[in-house]
């Protein structure tokens, strides 16, 4: 069984990976494709993929000239984004 310290260290590594991905996203926001979901056609969400199996995460975001808005970060095994998730 893993110790509490090992869980904290793992969480810290995950958090750093997310922060690094979001920092890169600021420079490459247009790189990732638009989400093709007819239920959310009024939003121009993009989906960035982070990680390698089995630790893959999806980052749903939108951006304009001034900022990037991250709506959700989910493990790839979780359900797709739904309107009530926003």
Domain ranges for the chain = 4-85
Reported pTM: 0.75
List pLDDT tens digits, range 1-53.
678 888 888 888 888 988 888 888 888 888 899 887 756 667 788 999 988 88
How many residues appear in the chain? 86
| Cross-strand pairs, 74 | 58
| pLDDT attached to residue 1 | 64
What 3-state DSSP class applies to 2? coil
Contact 52, 71 (CB under 8 A): no
| Cross-strand pairs, 85 | none
């Amino acid at each position: 069984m893993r110790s509490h310290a090992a869980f904290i260290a793992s969480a810290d590594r995950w958090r750093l990976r997310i922060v690094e991905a979001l920092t890169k996203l600021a420079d490459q926001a247009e790189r990732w494709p638009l989400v093709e979901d007819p239920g959310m056609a009024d939003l121009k969400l993009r989906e960035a993929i982070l990680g390698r199996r089995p630790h893959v995460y999806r980052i749903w975001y939108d951006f304009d000239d001034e900022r990037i808005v991250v709506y959700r970060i989910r493990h790839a095994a979780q359900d797709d984004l739904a309107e009530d998730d926003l």
